[in-house]
Amino acid sequence: MAIYINEEPKEFHLQTDVSSYIFKVMKNNQLGQLYYGKKIRHRPSFSHLFQSRFRSNVVNVFPDDTTFSLGTQMQEYPAYGTGDFRYPAYAIRQENGSRITQFEFKSYRVIEGKPKLEGLPSTYVASDDEAMTLDILLSDDRLHIDLHLVYTVFEKYNVITRNAKFVNHGSEAVDLPVALSASVDLPDDDFVMMQLSGSWARERHLYERKLQPGVQSISSTRTASSAQQNPFIALRRPDTNENLGSVYGFSLVYSGNFLAQVEVDDYHISRVTMGINPFDFNWRLSPGDGFQTPEVVMVFSDRGLTGMSQTYQTLYRERLASGTWRDRERPVLINNWEGTYFDFNEEKIVTMARQAKELGAELFVLDDGWFGERDDDTTSLGDWFVDKRKLPNGLAGLSKRIRELGLDLGLWFEPEMISEKSRLYQQHPDWVIHVPGRRMSPGRNQYVLDFSRQEVVDYLYERMASAIEEASLSYIKWDMNRHITESYSAALSAEHQQELGHRYILGVYRLYEKLTSHYPNVLFESCASGGGRFDPGLLHYAPQTWTSDDTDAVERLKIQFGTSFVYPLSAIGAHVSAVPNHQASRVTPLSTRAAVAYFGVFGYELDVTSMTAEEKQAVRRQIAFFKANRRVIQFGDFYRIESPYEKDGNVTSWMVVSKDKKEALAARYQVLARPNPAIDRIRFKGLDPDKLYQLDGSDGRFYGDELMNAGLILDDLVSQDRPSEKSLDFASRLFKLTAVE
């Protein structure tokens, strides 16, 4: 049983295989929090966990009880204005200007399985016995508004999800300036907060800070989850590491403006809140309408950071990503972008594809420049009609030639954007997000289409569906290269303008939903100037994401290491590109570029026709190696061994182990060679201690316990296909382990 209910004390105990989450109905008929952490046994009452004592200089709920104050009480979904001076989970502004509410417990219901969230991506179940859902109904009888707090317990996945829904049954419209998805009060502040932050070309770097009194938060105001901050935070105990200790993870299934915040009060209670960013947000809730918040996925691990990460990775791979491609091995692709940019024609593309096929590629992706009059980035976004100067036989003609080679064809789109130099802009200038009479801020020579308008979504669906059918597409790279400025919609009235950011994201989800439903065999990869929208919301529709525009192998170590704290390898788009690298200008060995890119969705982004015969032979071996190991890479358990964020960051290592522990692939990377180095070892993780493993490329056989505890001595970091007399800077080494039957 995943949900226990103590009827008389009105207590709710949500239990996974690892964790317990307990809350109750307090004496004022609101919800108080009792416990969240390592699994504890159920009992008839948890009243002894309720914190209530006299405090000086606080506001009390009842005149005859000086021990009960909302200002000091751990709560489940707190409000502001009745004694609690911490940041609230929600706020409602009424027609008379009042912001005071009183949502009281009315009832609950337990549902087998997990209901879908209307209009929003979320985790799901394959069968109802995988999860149980608790729906708590609270009501404000004066406003006639219902508040549903919904909890789903994935018992075996060790996950609890949360969301909230407001329904207005009253006769007056109200405003929701704050409507977060979850609030969790933890009884102390002895935590280190972890976050994944960065910028373009250096996304999702790991940062940590000790909690302090006051507010510490990350957020986005870009109408995208952003490259700057990922919608995830974790609170770990100071002594928690990869293998041992407790950590709480909070991840938001949403692609727009978000807030993830921890407020430490004067009694050291840590309040975690997460959801849609209240900044520049307001939702007008009219009579009869409802508002659904996105989903927060909460994970508690007592097996260190690896336990938390593997929980997220497994759930997101199996019960968030959806559709035909969820469980399929992903094709090895070659993308022409860094090989040609805008300068190509049909013959050039077919020649590249032919040589890519000879090297073992399975999918050729034609990137930007195939439509309108797109010779540079100043024109044609929105005009999704083939440019017959470059492709005289159209998409159908190109597709026929590519498929005759034995390759599938993919295509690049940036459907959310529009160029001022385009037919679409001339026909529908009102479709652009802008304020009439105000200057429009240029960005990348493009503007943003108003996806809150259904006619815009319908137009983009028609154009993309036409291309899918004409070219028999197998893959779409969906890019998004500009954030919203001058936020205003010509289709929304004044009182609804602050809804635009959320309505825009809902429009993006509607287009994804329609396309993936009608074309289930098309593999979608999301992209936003690289990893600017690498979030769980888009992962629901696009099971892989272009992780970063930065393809430099050294920079990718930190990017992919950070990304792995939440996301599975099957979501991490990773390509080998040419050197000097186009983002970092660094020259790294081809073997190292591949050794980094193997740990993700593997491909190449370069001009194969300009490679030497030696390089082509190396690529053949790399593609063959990846194909032989991609199932364990994409669907195995990932372990971080040595961090680029610790010590001097010179060494990184990680590995992936098959579910049955019969296969493993590890890699160790060295940024710079060091003179007279100490003898070092790599200590593997996740192996079966009783299995005997063969180390590929050697005569060595070792038991799992030996490899994990004693480790393997490393006398060098020389790649197997590179002579030792060459530089050991930017070196890598792979370790393939196979259990001996």
Query: Which residues are annotated as catalytic?
Result: 479, 549
Closest CA to 211 of 296, 275, 268, 274: 268
In sequence order, the 6+-apart residues with CB closer than 8 A to the CB of 699 are none
Quote the radius of gyration of the chain (alpha carbons, Å): 27
In sequence order, the 6+-apart residues with CB closer than 8 A to the CB of 677 are none
* Burial status of residue 385 (CB atoms within 10 A of its CB: 0-12, 13-18, 19 or more): middle
Contact 574, 548 (CB under 8 A): no
- d(C-alpha 716, C-alpha 732), whole Å: 10
- d(C-alpha 473, C-alpha 337), whole Å: 18
Residue 45: alpha-carbon gap to chain centroid: 38
- d(C-alpha 564, C-alpha 600), whole Å: 10
363: β partners: 333, 408
3-state secondary structure of 648: coil
Residue 337 tokens read as 């972008």
Instruction: Name the DSSP class of 356.
Output: H
- Measure Cα distances from 106 to 54, 146, 539 in Å: 28, 9, 36
DSSP for 505-525 reads: HHHHHHHHHHHHHH-TTSEEE
Q: How many degrees, rounded to 5, is the angle at CA 482 between CA 480 and CA 487? A: 120
In sequence order, the 6+-apart residues with CB closer than 8 A to the CB of 570 are 317, 321, 330, 543, 544, 601, 634, 635
Closest CA to 148 of 134, 130, 159: 134
- d(C-alpha 569, C-alpha 637), whole Å: 9
Contact 543, 570 (CB under 8 A): yes
DSSP for 179-227 reads: EEEEEEEES----EEEEEEEETTEEEEEEEEE--SEEEEEE--SSS--S
- d(C-alpha 589, C-alpha 578), whole Å: 10
Instruction: Name the DSSP class of 673.
Output: -
Relative to beta strand 523-526, strand 544-546 is parallel
Residue 46 tokens read as 């948890």
3-state secondary structure of 443: strand
